[in-house]
Structure 1
Amino acid sequence: MADRSSRPHHSPNQTPTRTERRIIKVRVLRRWGPARIAYLLGLNVSTVHRVLSRYKLARLRWLDRPTGRVIRRMESAAPGDLVHVDVKKLGKIPAGGGWRMLGRTQGNHNSQADKSSGRRSKWGDPLRGHHFLHTALDAHSRLVYSEILADERKQTAADFWERANAWFLECGFTVRNVLTDNGSCYRSHVFRDALGEVKHRRTRPYRPQTNGKVERFHRTLADEWAYARLYTSDAERCAEYSSWLHHYNHHRGHTSLKGR
């Protein structure tokens, strides 16, 4: 004996097929979310969401907006199969704190008062400069090696990779592939020589999503470290980076790894 379906023979409140087709057409052609589609067609947001779910249309975050194609995730079967490498430029904090925490008025006042860099713009305002966060992230385990450095020149990038590669070896695995963007420091012969036998792969031009894992890490560090609280000096923030990175590697769960 088998269970019979409990589905009703008639569903008078079901969304008409014509309306469903209009919803799907707008989604495919314009790549809009449920709220915008509902506003355009004069429907309830929950109705649009239900139709999109019923037909298993890909979520917008899975799509490349210019082409509408599903983004292929860069997966790796084992640690070391693929390491993402990138640089994030991070503005230095003036003494007393920056505008993100104190607001524009107080933040700009602190910027004008902090002359510790000894440099000025062509308008005479003090310049604080930037840090360059060099990052190497293993795609399989999400382990990260990262340093705060003074620039993103080719020699700096090459030296960073040699230290990162040695650290991954200490962690117990050998790096076989490295993925970078097309920045000049990564196109240099110096960086190529530093890679040695490691295969170098590059992202497609103007497609930072290809290097999405390290881009997501940089967004996480901005939310959870760089701008997580009020730092009264740039040195104070930099001093906390190593402890935050240890927490990220050893204690913080990752949703893509089911909390591991």
Structure 2
Amino acid sequence: MNSHKHARLTARGRALLVSRVLQEGWKVALASEAAGVSERTGYKWLARFKSEGPAGLLDRTSRPRRSPASCAPEQVRQFERCRRERVPLWRIACEAGRSLATVARHMARLGLSRLSSLQPREPVHRYERASPGELLHIDTKRLGRIQGIGHRITGERQHRNRGIGWDAVHLAIDDHSRVSFASIKPDGAGLSCTEFLRDALAYYASLGVRIERVMTDNGSGYVSKAFRSACLELGVRHIRTRPYTPKTNGKAERFVQTSLREWAYARPYESSAQRHAALQPFIDHYNWLRPHSALHHQPPMTRIPGMNNLLRLNT
């Protein structure tokens, strides 16, 4: 039953009204008044019960019984054939003598409102490098600096952190092992990206991993001369993603979201320095202890040969 919130009678109330009239001998006017409806409404439900039985007391659809101006099924199929040939909706409407709203409504029901819906979805290509260091994904995320707990937590709109600038969180994750590295820089310019690249390669070298390639998006810091020169100096091949295709660098994008959820927005920080201090403990936990779904729920360090042996000894 789907009675609206202002309905005077539900199916049970209608049945009670009919029962009082037919079985208890109440007059229709008295039974209708007791139910809070007009006498005319009482006669209506009584007539429906006599003609249809208990089913007549249920709610009916508000859809009209006849719709002479509605589109015939064959015409809707013609709309669909034209749309699949990439004919614009307005042209289909003009040729059929129908309004654009009518054609658009039928195409929306078929999921053909947008021409992009006619294109087959690209298959998902999942890949993983064979060994650590073959490919390092790098990305940057800007976070507003913090000066006291914000209004979203305190509820006090008078306190807002405006005009205090941004921090750039640089993140790196190894394609095979998912071992990550992160650092906070003042910006995402070429010099900051270059400094982060050097720090990241030094960190992975301390784990016995040599980075061969790095993948980034087409941000200004990554297309700068400083970053390109650093890649040549360090003997690292730089791969850039296809424009407007962030899924190419999907592992970095996913790690950014994980970092925001489990570190940046995990708790209310009172200052940027406090948030900064919590970054390295998060990275250590991610690398050494946190189960990773893509690694059969094992920590990333289990895929670094020397570190895996250390984990086993500690266990």
Give the shorter-chain TM-score range. Answer: 0.5 to 0.7
- Pairing 1:101–2:139 present: no
Q: State the AA in 2 paired with 1:168.
A: Y
Q: Provide Cα deviations, 1:135-181, integer angstroms capped at 9, x if missing partner.
A: 11101111111101101111111111011111111111111111000
Which is bigger in relative contact order (C-alpha 8 A, separation at least 6)?
1
In the alignment, what sits opposite 1:20? Answer: none
Alignment partners' CA distance in 2, 1:66 and 1:232: 49
Q: 1:220 aligned to 248, 258, 261, which one? A: 258
> What are the within-5 Å matches in structure 2 for residues 130-149 of structure 1?
130-149=166-185
Contact 1:101 1:229 in 2 (8 A): no
Identity of aligned residues (%): 40
The Cα shift of 1:225 comes to 1.1
The Cα shift of 1:257 comes to 1.1
> What are the within-5 Å matches in structure 2 for residues 202-241 of structure 1?
202-241=240-279
> What are the within-5 Å matches in structure 2 for residues 145-184 of structure 1?
145-184=181-220
In the alignment, what sits opposite 2:237? Answer: 199
- Pairing 1:244–2:296 present: no
Instruction: Name structure 2 gaps, 5 residues minimum.
Output: 1-83, 85-108, 111-117, 299-315
Alignment partners' CA distance in 1, 2:127 and 2:152: 33
Q: 1:110 aligned to 159, 181, 189, which one? A: 159
Q: SS in structure 1 opposite 2:215?
A: strand
In the alignment, what sits opposite 2:124? Answer: 71
Alignment partners' CA distance in 1, 2:178 and 2:217: 18
Change (3 A) 1:74 1:200: farther
- Pairing 1:88–2:159 present: no
Q: Provide Cα deviations, 1:117-143, integer angstroms capped at 9, x if missing partner.
A: xxxxxxxxx412111001111011111
Change (3 A) 1:166 1:100: same
In the alignment, what sits opposite 2:39? Answer: none
Between 229-238 and 186-195, report the one with greater CA deviation: 229-238
Q: Provide Cα deviations, 1:88-125, integer angstroms capped at 9, x if missing partner.
A: 11112231x1244334xx2x3222xx6xxxxxxxxxxx
The Cα shift of 1:66 comes to 7.9
Q: 1:185 aligned to 217, 221, 238, which one? A: 221
Change (3 A) 1:75 1:130: same
Alignment partners' CA distance in 2, 1:195 and 1:161: 8
Q: Provide Cα deviations, 1:50-99, integer angstroms capped at 9, x if missing partner.
A: xxxxxxxxxxxxxxx9861023224211000110011111112231x124
Alignment partners' CA distance in 2, 1:135 and 1:154: 15
Report the structure number with the largest CA radius of gyration: 2
User: As a proportion of its length, which structure holds more helix?
Assistant: 2
Alignment partners' CA distance in 2, 1:127 and 1:67: 46
With normalisation by structure 2, the TM-score equals 0.55
**Once superposed, which parts of structure 1, at least 4 consecutive aligned residues long, lie more than 4 Å away?**
none
Alignment partners' CA distance in 2, 1:204 and 1:82: 16
Change (3 A) 1:71 1:234: same
With normalisation by structure 1, the TM-score equals 0.66
Instruction: Name structure 1 gaps, 5 residues minimum.
Output: 1-28, 30-39, 42-64, 115-125
